[in-house]
A and B are shown apart, each in its own frame.
Chain A
Amino acid sequence: DQQVKQNSPSLSVQEGRISILNCDYTNSMFDYFLWYKKYPAEGPTFLISISSIKDKNEDGRFTVFLNKSAKHLSLHIVPSQPGDSAVYFCAASAGAGANNLFFGTGTRLTVIP
């Protein structure tokens, strides 16, 4: 049973506009959330994270929003650049033990020049 869901397999955005990637989760014990970016033939690269005590975390062009009541998080990229074209995975952890992560199935973002 998929505890972390990314319902949009793909997203296309014009360069300079905002990209919004969404993620839903079912386990209310999750308290740490992450976004990873993956280029073809490379491993996922950690992008940004947020703990459940916050509802927003910002790092440059990337902002993650967390809505705990809706069990929803989103990644905003502003402005989008062609180099942002990649597969984005959201992940969540209950923070216990070995920090096991539960991953979504990924959203392929294409930024059109």
Chain B
Amino acid sequence: DVKVTQSSRYLVKRTGEKVFLECVQDMDHENMFWYRQDPGLGLRLIYFSYDVKMKEKGDIPEGYSVSREKKERFSLILESASTNQTSMYLCASSSGTKNQPQHFGDGTRLSIL
């Protein structure tokens, strides 16, 4: 089974802090994704990566950056956290083959005070 592991289940940070969310997958997947989930809005794509050191903006990249130095690890960075970034953050990975599902981690519930 695919295992996608997010480093923290719950995180509380203060406005203006730099926040790092880490994600590791164990299936040698080429593609990795970061989403946020908010009530009534579904899952919205923040950034994705299809290879090491490659990144692409998703639908809502503002206020975020990402890093993919190794194939198995994809980090989401909030450069200066703000209260409107309080959300559930979900990491996913998928094979580079066409028509393959994404597999998700259990999410990080991030609160910015």
Would you call the interface of chain A mostly helix, strand, loop, or mixed? Answer: loop
Rounded to whole angstroms, the CA-CA distance of A41 and B33 in the bound complex is: 19
Q: Which of A39-64 contact B (CB under 8 A)?
A: 41-46, 49, 51
**Residue A83 CB within 8 A of the other chain:** no
Chain B contributes a number of interface residues (CB within 8 A of A) equal to 31
Give me 22 A-to-B residue pairs in the complex whose CB atoms sit less than 8 angstroms apart, sorted by A's number: A32-B98, A41-B9, A41-B106, A41-B109, A43-B4, A43-B107, A44-B90, A46-B102, A49-B101, A51-B99, A89-B43, A93-B99, A95-B98, A97-B50, A98-B30, A98-B31, A98-B48, A98-B56, A99-B99, A103-B43, A105-B41, A105-B42
Chain A contributes a number of interface residues (CB within 8 A of B) equal to 25
A99 partner, pick from B42, B44, B100, beta carbons under 8 A: B100
Please give me the residue from chain A that is nearest to B108 by CB atom: A43
Q: Are B43 and A43 in contact (CB under 8 A)?
A: no
Rounded to whole angstroms, the CA-CA distance of A32 and B106 in the bound complex is: 24
Measured between beta carbons, the chain B residues less than 8 angstroms from A93 are 99
B43 partner, pick from A41, A44, A49, A97, beta carbons under 8 A: A44
Shortest distance in angstroms between B92's beta carbon and chain A's nearest beta carbon? Answer: 8
Shortest distance in angstroms between A11's beta carbon and chain B's nearest beta carbon? Answer: 16
Rounded to whole angstroms, the CA-CA distance of A101 and B43 in the bound complex is: 10
Measured between beta carbons, the chain A residues less than 8 angstroms from B40 are 9, 105
Measured between beta carbons, the chain B residues less than 8 angstroms from A104 are 42
